[in-house]
Amino acid sequence: MKRLIYSIAVVGMVTVLCSCASTPIKPPDYSRMDIITQPATPILRKDIIHKVAPGETVWRIAKMYDIRIEDIMQANTLKKPKELKMGQSLLIPDAAPLEAVIPLYPSKKWRYIIIHHSATDEGCALHFHFAHHSRGFKRGLGYHFVINNGTREKDDGYIEISPRWLKQLNGAHCKASGMNKKGIGICLVGNFSKERISEKQMDSLLYLVNCLRKYYKISLKNIMGHGQVFGARTECPGKNFPFGKLKKQLKVSD
């Protein structure tokens, strides 16, 4: 399946398509932004329950499952899109296979990609958001992206996007060498000091890193693990993380 890049023109087209409904709902104005959707394996559509993660909107969820905004609103008796709450369970009728919707914003600040592991057996963006908030992170989730391992009702390899990325805010994932201000933080769920990254997580990591590094022109030497950052004192992303394999496959894709 081809990987699709949705430009601003496509976002505008979504608005036109939605206007055919009796009460048109326009998506947010994402001017000067490109959107990438991660390819999914084709399967039959079905009704599913989706738990709202940090930063997700009705518009974003509709694109993730390839359905109309109005269908989500009607199925969940929502009067306004802004009624959506983090952690809320939504019925998604006739949902297509889940796809990550990855926005890319023109910026010169992102010069590094820092890879982490959660050092936990399970987790997801919502889980980490509350955990980070309890640790004193005012904005909650400190990473820009989370790649799931099949726990917490999230598919193995599914990429979640943090509100920090959606708002282009500094991270809260690596203080060393000022990486929070210039490094994109990607967290893989799992403890790679005890286990190994799943094949689907690795595929998603390669896909995401390639999208980011090519868009922001980040050199291979600036793609590193948390523990490789000068001044960082951590084993993150774990002694079993396959950095050699990652760098080799990234070079092949050049």
Largest CA distance in the chain: 57
Residue 134 and residue 52 share a domain = no
Assign residue 196 the CATH number of its domain: 3.40.80.10
Residue from 141, 136, 139, 188 nearest 162 by CA: 141
Residue 113 and residue 37 share a domain = no
Residue 117 and residue 34 share a domain = no
> 50 by DSSP, 3-state: which?
strand
Count of domains observed in the chain: 2
Reply yes or no on whether the pLDDT at 38 is more than 90: no
Structural domain range at position 59: 4-102
Residue 29's pLDDT band, with cuts at 50, 70 and 90, is low
Residue 232 and residue 111 share a domain = yes
**Residue pLDDT, tens place only, 81-130:** 888 999 999 999 999 998 888 999 999 999 999 999 999 999 999 999 99
> 207 by DSSP, 3-state: which?
helix
Residue 237 and residue 188 share a domain = yes
Residue 146 and residue 122 share a domain = yes
Give the domain-ending residue among 47, 71, 102: 102
Which residues are paired to 37 by β-bridges? 4, 101
Residue 130 and residue 243 share a domain = yes
Residue 96 and residue 116 share a domain = no
Residue 178 and residue 78 share a domain = no
CA distances from 196 to 48, 191, 243 (A): 30, 8, 12
**First-to-last C-alpha distance (Å) of the chain:** 20
As given in the structure block, the two tokens for residue 171 are: 């991270």
Least confident piece of the model among 43-52, 186-195, 237-246: 43-52
Kindly report the pTM of this predicted structure.
0.83
Count of CB atoms situated within 10 Å of the CB of 53: 22
**Residue pLDDT, tens place only, 155-169:** 999 999 999 999 999
pLDDT confidence of residue 13:
28
Q: What percent of the chain has pLDDT over 90?
A: 77
